[in-house]
Amino acid sequence: MPTSKPKITILGAGLLGRLSAYSFCKLGYQVEIFERGGPNAEGSAAQVAAAMLAPLAESAITEPPVVKMGHYSLKRWQGIIQTLEEPVFFQQNGTLIVWHHQDSHEAKRFSETLVRNQLQMNFLEAPKAIGREELNSLEPSLSHQFQHGLYLPLEGQLDNRQLMTALLASLTSLGATFYWNSPKDLVDFDNQAAQGDANWLLDCRGLGSRTNWEGLRGVRGEVIRLFAPEVTLLRPLRLIHPRYPLYIAPKEEHVFVIGATEIESEDISSATVRSTLELLSAAYTVHSGFAEARILEISTQARPTLKDNLPAIRQLGPRTLQMNGLYRHGFLISPAVVDCALEFVQDGTHGLATSLGLSVHTI
């Protein structure tokens, strides 16, 4: 008779934990998840994110493996979202990059970097320089403000909070078992490992894994959520600026996620007046309608980051895996990281990880 699939125990119900749990549940595995917080993912970095899926735009500040994983994941996201029981806002209208006249030199350097990166990674769609007429066609509300822009076709975004809620609802329907307010560490499962249990343990705790992963640190990020009924943007926008480059991700019902800050600190206390003023002032220079926007919230969180700012998978013992280090690229690359772990659990191979350049270590 065929043997049943092993049980998957997951530590952490953030983005990686929920997406891993959902992927294994869909394949018929019995899944249990231990989470130190509650079902609303209050302490997860996934709650404080713009969830932009922009591999070429990110290539200006990250390494090729992240770009490859982002390109792979962009294709995967649409399929994942279509299988969830609750709707999740997903958009693939590209990314628009704009700049003010005084920052033209910085924009030229940025554009040259993207062109060079795309030539080296030709699986990406080439960036397109646009003038006022094309800008007016893409974003009519901005044509009076900017003379030139750069359009990155096929890049996308999703609603991070809708996704977390939808993953939870689908996992519940699939029979996953959740243990909320139940912090666990790897040592809590030592007996299982010593007994050679056939079940798997996946550590997806982000910064919660610091006691088990040397060099893991938090990098502070701040985002502002606005309700701006006078503003209409059809795709994520990035503003080039020498001091505080800005992104604006439009969600449904005139809600906008605005961010840019990246600080080497694990402090997640309230945002400073300076960073808030810079973000809001930059947003106002993009569209004057933001002057009458309502501030829904100003949020801070620390993103789990490894020494090289790149993600990694570690194997601790025969049936224990750790996944971590998504940094600022959580939504961009998480499907790729999860699929690499899935391949290893099912087949014992790392072919996908090798092809994407994802580091896999055995400890």
Report percent pLDDT > 90 for the chain.
Answer: 90
Mean pLDDT calculated for residue range 227-237? 97
Structure tokens belonging to residue 42: 């209050």
Encoded tokens for 277: 């003023």
Give one DSSP letter per residue of 4-22, joined into a string. Answer: PPPEEEEE--SHHHHHHHH
Mean pLDDT of 183-212: 85
What is the per-residue pLDDT for 196?
Answer: 52
Task: Tell me the sheet residues that pair with 304.
Answer: 218
Element (H, E) at 342: helix 330-347
Whether pTM exceeds 0.85: yes
- Domain boundaries of the chain, sorted by first residue: 7-54+160-212+307-362, 95-153+217-305
Residue 142 CB neighbour total at 10 angstroms: 20
Average pLDDT over residues 255-274: 90
95-153+217-305 shares the fold of 7-54+160-212+307-362: no
192 pLDDT higher than 70: no
Rounded-to-5 percentages of helix, strand, coil across the chain: 40, 25, 35
Class of domain 95-153+217-305: alpha beta
CB atoms within 10 A of CB 332: 29
Q: Read off the amino acid at residue 264.
A: E
Per-residue confidence (pLDDT) for residue 104, from 0 to 100: 96
Does the pLDDT at position 122 exceed 80?
yes
Q: With a cut of 90, say whether residue 262 has pLDDT above it.
A: no
pLDDT tens column, 84-120? 999 999 999 999 999 999 999 999 999 999 999 999 9
Residue range 7-54+160-212+307-362 forms a domain whose CATH class is alpha beta
Tell me the per-residue pLDDT of 160-189, one tens digit each, with 9 for 90 and over.
Answer: 999 999 999 999 999 999 999 999 999 999
- Return the CA Rg of the chain: 21
Q: What pLDDT score was predicted for residue 167?
A: 98
pLDDT > 50? residue 311: yes
The three-state (H, E, C) secondary structure of 156-169, written as one string: EEECHHHHHHHHHH
The encoded tokens of residue 103 equal 């920052």
- Dump pLDDT digits (tens) for 49-83: 999 999 999 999 999 999 999 999 999 999 999 99
